[in-house]
Structure 1
Amino acid sequence: MKIRIATYNIHKGVSSFGSRSRIVALKQALAAMEAEVIFLQEVQGQHDRLATRHATHWPGGAQHEFLAGDSHQAAYGMNAVYDHGHHGNALLSCYPILSSRNQDVSDHAYEARGILHCVIENEGVEVHCYVVHLGLFAGGRRRQTDALIEAVTHSAPPGAPVIIAGDFNDWGNRLSEVLRSRLGVTEVFDAQTPKLTMSSLLRRLRGAPVKIQPAKTFPAAMPFLRLDRIYVRGFRVDSAAVLHGALWAKLSDHAPLIATLELL
């Protein structure tokens, strides 16, 4: 069984500068990815002000339902609530979504975060999917990572296929090792051969291991921070790529990741 997945922080469906509506173009871009399961962050379940401002370029309902269209099912986890609406994480799946549950992992009152856990079924196999958006502060991210580890440990049976994807805000790559050791997951870029640089060449000459880094995804126009991740368990990674360039720079401040996985 092969499955093509993507993760994308869509910046609430508006441009990084000028808050111009990008939701229609985002739907077209997601369709062009041909991903069967899509992990989304910063999805507007409701935003009355933007809906009024962009009346002719804004969906009549929730963004996750609009983006799912007729090709995917959608699940939504509401995290941040305000007077004029709310936003959170979402999962779009062309496979049946058997269940969904959103867990609040906010570390303080000013930064609402959550973990959306969905179980999808593909060819009789249940796959546990976790959509993640962690906080901006290192201490909070560590506590939220502990909550993620506990959630996966208690909700996914041992040996069950697992996909964890989203915006980890982990530019220092400090969380990957604990996730690998505690959950037995692999980041989709772990298996890729690192680029040969002077630093990596010196490390090889010293016999030291070459550090594997996740992809650079932020800012989308010229990525230099490694914020977004896809971790998997029970899958072989066939391919993984970050999508960046002029098109993607217009849609969000993050670049999306896409990967093709094969069930072991």
Structure 2
Amino acid sequence: MAALRPMKSLPHSTYGHGDTLRVATYNIHKGVRGVGPRKRLEIHNLGLGIEALDADLVFLQEVRSFHHREARRFERTSFGWPKEGQADFLAPDGYEVAYRTNAVTRHGEHGNALLSRWPLGDIGHHDVSDHRFEQRGLLHVPVTWNGLLVHAIVAHLGLMHASRVRQVERLAAFIEAHVPAGEAMVVAGDFNDWGEKLDAPMRDCGLERAESGGRLNTFPSRVPVFSLDRIYTRGLRCVASTVPRGTVWARMSDHLPLVADFVAA
């Protein structure tokens, strides 16, 4: 794989990196691509990609702690299936890791993760599953950034619009119960919002969608036409945002990462 250069700055950002909170969200597709005999392991390339994002907070979806069948398929070697969970494997040196399972399957499980340059508080998990065919959850972790408490919530919403609406309602109830009014917050992840209908209910939660220069499409990764991956915030202002593009990024997952820089509002 071609080398990935660290993203030291984003377009149109005039702020120093120390003054900004860089947030990235990425659905990593459980670290594999393809089907059948053409299935390939991408978790090692994803590690390089996440490091290149140079983000303070990385919100990850479809992350596996274990999967017995895939571990047998790719073997536990230096270039095979990692011995540790994917969240710990992907975390750059010095980052703290939070992970919770959303879904349990026949051979393993998967869930949401947060990788952070900054100190993490207590890790919380809230089940927002809407029906038995889709297990979904919210990962909530307070982060201390430059002396400011920021509530990070990693989300991965359902495939049906009605389910997503109900999950946003549950998100709103969770925020009211667990996030004090006036404290900064970032909610990021894969919203599966094909019809661009969730911005209004998210605003009702007090959250604004992070945008700088228009909508940024992230899916499918080879020819992105949908903006499924989102970052919503409260108490922070977006000063730049981008989606890395190119063959290298397109092969690692069916989604592209979304990256944005914020300053305190």
- When the two structures are superposed, what TM-score results if normalisation uses the length of structure 2? 0.88
Q: Which residue of 1 is the match for residue 209 of structure 2?
A: 187
Correspondence for 1:130 among 153, 158, 172? 153
Q: Which residue of 1 is the match for residue 16 of structure 2?
A: none
Q: State the secondary structure of the residue aligned to 1:45.
A: coil
Q: Please say if 1:43 is aligned against 2:63.
A: yes
Q: State the secondary structure of the residue aligned to 2:123.
A: strand
- Deviation, 1:71, is 2.3
- Deviation, 1:261, is 0.5
Could you give the per-residue CA deviations for residues 85-115 of structure 1, whole angstroms, max 9, x where no partner exists? 1100000001111111111111111111111
Could you give the per-residue CA deviations for residues 123-151 of structure 1, whole angstroms, max 9, x where no partner exists? 22110011000000111111111011111
Q: State the secondary structure of the residue aligned to 1:243.
A: coil
Q: Please say if 1:143 is aligned against 2:166.
A: yes
Q: Which residue of 1 is the match for residue 14 of structure 2?
A: none
Return closer, same or farther for 1:16/1:131 CA change in 2, 3 Å cut-off: farther
Correspondence for 2:42 among 16, 22, 32? 22
Q: Which residue of 1 is the match for residue 4 of structure 2?
A: none
Q: Which residue of 1 is the match for residue 177 of structure 2?
A: 154
Q: Which residue of 2 is the match for residue 172 of structure 1?
A: 195
**Identity across aligned pairs (percent)?**
43
* Counterparts of 2:205 and 2:158, CA distance in 1: 20
Correspondence for 1:2 among 17, 20, 25? 20
Letter in 1 for 2:54: E
* Counterparts of 2:85 and 2:121, CA distance in 1: 21
Moved over 6 A (4+): none
Q: State the secondary structure of the residue aligned to 1:170.
A: coil
Could you give the per-residue CA deviations for residues 163-217 of structure 1, whole angstroms, max 9, x where no partner exists? 000000001111111111x22222111x53x4xxxxxxxxxxxxxxxxxxx4211
Letter in 1 for 2:103: A
Aligned-residue Cα RMSD (Å) equals 1.2
Q: Where in structure 2 are there 5+ consecutive unaligned residues?
A: 1-18
Contact 1:16 1:252 in 2 (8 A): no
Correspondence for 2:98 among 72, 75, 83? 75
Letter in 1 for 2:22: R
Q: Please say if 1:231 is aligned against 2:253.
A: no
- Deviation, 1:16, is 4.0
* Counterparts of 2:20 and 2:92, CA distance in 1: 23
Equivalences, count: 242
Contact 1:16 1:253 in 2 (8 A): no
Letter in 1 for 2:205: L
- Deviation, 1:52, is 1.4
Q: Please say if 1:248 is aligned against 2:245.
A: no
Equivalent runs, 1:50-61 vs 2, <5 Å: 50-55=70-75, 56=77, 57-61=80-84
Contact 1:24 1:58 in 2 (8 A): no
- When the two structures are superposed, what TM-score results if normalisation uses the length of structure 1? 0.88
Q: State the secondary structure of the residue aligned to 1:76.
A: strand
